[in-house]
Structure 1
Amino acid sequence: MSHLPEFTAALMPHLMLAPIALPMLTAALLLLLREEQQRLKFGVSLASTLMGLMVAIALLQWAHRADTAAGMGVYLPGNWPAPFGIVLVLDRLTALMLLLTSLVALCSVLFSGARWQRAGVLYQALFQFQLMGLSGAFLTGDLFNLFVFFEIMLAASYGLLLHGSGRARVQSGLHYIAINLAASSLFLVGAAMLYGLTGTLNMADLAQAVPQVSQADRGLLHTAAAILATAFLIKAAVWPLNFWLVPAYSAATAPVGALFALMTKVGLYALLRLWSLMFGAEAGPSAQFGSLWLIVGGMATMAFGTIGMMGSQRLTHLASHAAVLSSGTLLAAAGFGQTMLSAGLLYYLPSSTLAVAALFLLADLTERWRNGGATRPPYESDDDAPFLSPELVPTAGLNLDDDEQVLVGRVIPAATAFMGLAYLTSTLVIAGLPPLSGFIGKFAMLTALLNPLGLGSSAGSAPGLAGWTLLVLMIGTGLVALMALTRSGIRHFWAAPHRPTPQLHVFEGLPIALLLGICVTLTVQAEGVMRFTTATAQALHTPDSYVRAVMSAAPQSGPLAPASAGTPQPPGKEAAP
């Protein structure tokens, strides 16, 4: 038993394969099952997603352990050292994104079990392939493999977007496919140019190679980085490259829309990861390259998302524009390169993503309720209900509404009350109002803007024009988002009192409660979460530990034993110490 902790410590790095291998094997199994076996498919997909969540929690705990060097884990699937072999890297940022992916995926699978998985074929298999692509994109330490996982993720998303058929989905799906194919082409061009300049696509090796690029090739390096960043910015929904997002996301089915709320964060993650590695403080003349473009683009995206929310009449459009607003806020904050500002945005990232995902699910329930999809009560209209009838209820001295129906003592159906409270909670988080986690995340970012501490700044210095502009935008967009969400809430929950009671399946209510419950948990545990995001931001802006961990990872000479001195090495590369 004394060797059990050592065995567990040696086994944990191998668990890094699970977020990729588990959904891949699950999708293969689901493809073997007949379409008539919907319940079995749902059970298999749900069990796999739940296992993925447990794996993500274990990896997060392992990455955040005090005795784990810099919260880093490196795995060599081909047993070749970097930069020659495939590398999977786990740090606090990766673990956070994996956990967020697993949470949203679990809620999406649960919601689909009520009805949407039966609207087309191969839904659960495509869903698992999507998870495989997402997890691989977060774990990989190599640009080429990042492209591979992007394509797996996008190929699955094409099928998921078209799930349920219909002209709107097909039309939006074609636009979505065309835009993402163009982004993939830009990805390949930028990666090829970087490889031609540096001779490597390993992210840690790129961090070492960028400062050594000659001055004559520096302009070409910046051009390659800009092309690559454009591909990521398209996926991160930056204005004006986000015209495809709202039609596509609003046309998707509710569980797919909830999962797509996470898709924009993949582009943001890629930007954060590569920008901090390639253009950090040690990048020489290229330090902080592109930061102004990120700030300006993020601010423009915030303005576009807010205007779109004010102009939205449908809840799905409102949720799509809320996703754009969230992405713009995160992009603008990331461009400042400040540690504490990055800590605030990393706290805000899961809160906004979970709230937008919940809003997509709520939109489906609300639209179905509004369109009379629920079974009507046993009486002809709400006015015929005994507890509302003027003949049966004495009205003297009681508060009446415009139709002279009793207000005091009127029973609110549980399903209606749940949907109303869930909508209110989503509104508070998205608008960034107290006391929930959206407010805490925005407050942390505003505090960091007023007391900048990062590259090129000192503690207590003025925030500058860009800082003041972002501060005003964050407050202003929050207020406008509140007005848009409140107006929509009045129309859907208040202005139509005579609708029938909505029918709410347990598989529809539970995921919404889970998503918003996590937002409440983030609020209650704000101190611990902020400590985690601060440590994550510090590691992100000081990437030396990342580079050392990846470049010094030695191949294994046995299943769990460390490499020996006689381990074969690739030609021209000595074993790392």
Structure 2
Amino acid sequence: MTPHHLIILPVLLPLLCGAALVPLTQARHRFKFALSYASVLGQLITACLLMAQADNGAWPGDIGVYLAANWAAPFGIALVADRLSALMLLLTAVLALAALHYAMQRWSRIGVHFHPLFQFLLMGINGAFLTHDLFNLFVFFEVMLAASYGLVLHGYNAERLRASMQYIAVNLVAALMFLLGTALIYATTGTLNLADVALRISTMAPGEIGLLKTGVAVLALAFLTKAAMWPLGFWLPTTYAAASPPVAAMLVLMTKVGAYVILRLWLLLFGDEEGAAAGFGYDALVWGGMATIVFGAAGMLSTDSAGRMAGYSAIVSSGTLLAVIGYGQPSLVTAGLYYLIGSTLAVAAFLLLIELIDRIRTPGAAILALTMEAWAVEDTPDEPRGKGVPAAMAFLSLAFAACALMIAGLPPLSGFVAKFGMFHALLNPEAGSGAIGPTGWTLMALIIVAGLVALISMLRYGVRTFWAAEMVTPPKLQLSEVAPVSVLLLLSVAMTVQARPLFDYLGRASADLHDPGKYARRVLGEPALPGPTSRPEAP
């Protein structure tokens, strides 16, 4: 298989696997799980190979282009793999492997179609990271959403049913905005290939540019809804809290799909080289992102539900990413991409951990803890008796502490490294950018305050949970449940230890994003493969 054909594998593998899983009944659960697991492992290996290809000069400009049906862009379907898309594919495969492993003993057995829906979800996510035209982005977006509707309802109860109805309604409206925005862009430019749109912007009349901006703004509403930008992210905490743990972990990644598309669109279509369209919407992204941080931080402080707390922390991370994109500084985007990876791992690990933590307390313990706090009841401790800490309790407490450190952005884990990198970029603007202004100082202050709020909220939850005195019961944990949480946390540690090589890689990815001309020329310049030639007749 040639390197170019690797690009289609992240879409083909889950598509073929999901189709093969549909007719299988639950009586063949072990086979279904093995097939689904093998598909995700194949996607993980493919993502690693694509990262290597994108970073070692195997492709011209370090950008791989796959022309479906051998039709050259902009008329054919082009799938594009560069450093950033390959990294997002790797992050998707890692989270999918963790979620699927966690679901092995319980959640994947509850419903008949968990595995095919899971594979179709991966197909949609991977396709959204690879596609380079708006029509196919809409197709993959809808595949992703349709699969997520079924997964959010998986193992349904009354709470899950209510949350899913809200989730479906919001995303149907977002899909409508997607279609309207795409139609306006096509009416203005006559193309849906993003590279072609980027090249045509510089030659458009002012009136056409206005209509194009309107189309992109309407289109952006769909992805800003998925990215949970304020005030469009009201649906997210309820959905996260109601979904089953493996599904909630994948929803964290789906939120990042919205931020990824916004990053691609704005740097490609409204960069410094785009003339009259340059700089469109950047201020809205910065201030909208900062408003989202405030909303998420206030939500974390106001809730006692661990699931909703995780949802609000995901909103804070999305707001940070949107503000970083809008700030428009390449070095800040580098740190923001590092933050994207670390925050996704942290929130996903916390969502998987919540169910395990909930097993240590009976409902009576939770009520007692809240009552004692509300009425300021003094609890005089008895004489210490030297009681040992069970292994399960030790794991849960240490894993929770690691999640709290990462979400709050405290040393020594990756959350602190990410925030330190963003602060360094803000305080050391690139040449020609001038000194840091009020916007930069405001963003730094909000990131610091949001971290302190996250720390207060996580500590409050930890005190109520792990210091519930006599009513704490060591839970029974399965290895299949402990391993995914441990791996996600260890990956965060690895990110901290290998921060320098990872920042170097992300710096190269950021440089590619800020060179839209090279990107457009590479996509549109990929030639179709020559057809087979007929053999000459023998004399």
**What TM-score results when the alignment is normalised by the length of structure 2?**
0.94
1:299 matched to 2:278? The reply is no
One-letter identity of the residue aligned with 1:406 = R
Return 215-224 or 424-433, whichever deviates more. 215-224
User: C-alpha offsets along residues 365-408 of structure 1, whole Å, 9 cap, x if unaligned?
Assistant: 112332389xxxxxxxxxxxxxxxxxxxxxxxxxxx8122324x
Does structure 1 retain, via aligned residues, the 8 Å contact 2:74–2:196? yes
Whole-Å Cα distance in 1 between the matches of residues 412 and 268 of structure 2? 35
In 2, the alpha carbon distance for the partners of 1:27 and 1:325 equals 33
1:482 matched to 2:455? The reply is: yes
Specify the alignment match of 1:426 in structure 2.
403
User: Shift in Å at residue 236 of structure 1?
Assistant: 0.5
Does residue 328 of structure 1 match 2:319? Answer: yes
Decide whether the 8 Å contact of 1:361 with 1:512 is kept in 2: yes
* Structure showing the higher helix proportion among its residues: 2
Distance in 2 of aligned mates of 1:493 and 1:333 = 36
Give 2:17's aligned residue: 26
Mapping of residues 86-105 of structure 1, within 5 Å: 86-105=77-96
The superposition leaves residues 162-208 of structure 1 with CA deviations (integer Å, 9 ceiling, x where unpaired) of 00111111111111111101111111111110111101000110110
Displacement after TM superposition at 1:69 (Å): 3.1
Give the Å deviation of 1:66.
4.0
CA distance in 2, matches of 1:207, 1:495: 58
CA shift, 1:264, in A, is 0.8
Q: Distance in 2 between matches of 1:428 and 1:200?
A: 46
Deviations 1:211-247 (A, max 9, x none): 2110122221211111111111001000001111111
Q: 1:219 to 1:513 in 2, by over 3 A?
A: same
Instruction: Tell me which moved more, 535-544 or 149-158.
Output: 535-544
Give, as a single letter, the amino acid of the residue that structure 1 aligns with 2:221: T
Query: Per-residue CA shift, 1:382-440, capped at 9, x if unaligned?
Result: xxxxxxxxxxxxxxxxxxx8122324xx3211111111111111111111111111111
Letter in 2 for 1:487: R
8 Å contact kept, 1:299–1:329 = yes
Structure 1 runs of 4+ aligned residues shifted over 4 Å read none
Residue of structure 1 equivalent to 2:507: 534
| CA contact 1:239–1:304 (8 Å) conserved in 2 | yes
| Contact in 2 for aligned 1:72/1:90 (Cα 8 Å) | yes
TM-score w.r.t. the length of structure 1 is: 0.88
Hey, what does 1:153 align to over in structure 2? 144
Identity %: 49
Letter in 1 for 2:183: A
Cα pair distance change 1:164/1:213, threshold 3 Å: same
- The residue number in structure 1 matching 2:414 is 437
Distance apart, 1:326 and its partner CA: 0.7
Of residues 392, 416, 426, the one that matches 2:393 is 416
Deviations 1:131-163 (A, max 9, x none): 000000000011100000000000000000000
Query: Are 1:160 and 1:256, in contact at CA under 8 Å, matched by a contact in 2?
Result: yes
Amino acid at match of 1:522: M
Task: Specify the code of the residue in structure 1 equivalent to 2:428.
Answer: N
In 2, are the aligned partners of 1:141 and 1:202 still within 8 Å (CA)?
A: yes
Structure 2 partner of 1:85:
76
Query: 2:49 corresponds to which residue?
Result: 58
Q: What is the rounded CA distance, in whole Å, between the counterparts of 1:135 and 1:497 in structure 2?
A: 47
Matched residues in 2 for 1:489 and 1:557: separation? 63
Change (3 A) 1:118 1:371: farther
Shift of 1:558: 5.1
Which 5+ residue runs of structure 2 have no aligned equivalent? 365-379, 535-539
Alpha-carbon contact 2:66-2:79 (below 8 Å) kept: yes
Q: Could you tell me whether the CA contact under 8 Å between 1:186 and 1:227 is conserved in 2? A: yes
Instruction: Provide, for residues 235-282 of structure 1, a one-character-per-residue CA deviation record: whole Å limited to 9, x for no partner.
Output: 100000111111111100000000101011000011001111100111
Report SS of the residue matched to 1:89: strand
How far apart, CA to CA, are the structure 1 residues paired with 2:359 and 2:116?
Answer: 26
CA contact 2:362–2:471 (8 Å) conserved in 1: no
> 1:486 and 1:70, CA in 2 relative to 1: closer, same or farther beyond 3 A?
farther
Paired residues of 1:273 and 1:540 also in contact (CA < 8 A): yes
Give 1:333 shift: 0.9
Count of residue pairs brought into register by the alignment: 520
Report the alpha carbon displacement of residue 43 of structure 1 after superposing the two structures with TM.
1.5
- Which runs of 5 or more residues in structure 1 are unaligned? 1-7, 374-400, 565-577
Contact 2:350 2:403 (C-alpha < 8 Å) held by counterparts: yes
User: Equivalent residue for 1:365?
Assistant: 356
Q: 1:496, CA displacement in angstroms? A: 3.7
> What letter is aligned with 1:523?
T
What secondary structure is seen at the aligned counterpart in 2 of 1:261?
A: helix
Please say which structure displays the higher CA radius of gyration.
Answer: 1
Local SS of the residue matching 1:75? strand
| Match status 1:557 vs 2:530 | yes
What displacement does 1:110 show? Answer: 0.3
Counterpart among 273, 278, 293 of residue 282 in structure 1? 273
| CA distance in 2 between partners of 1:300 and 1:313 (Å) | 22
2:191 paired with 1:225: no
- Asked if structure 2 preserves the Cα contact closer than 8 Å seen for 1:76 and 1:85, the reply is yes
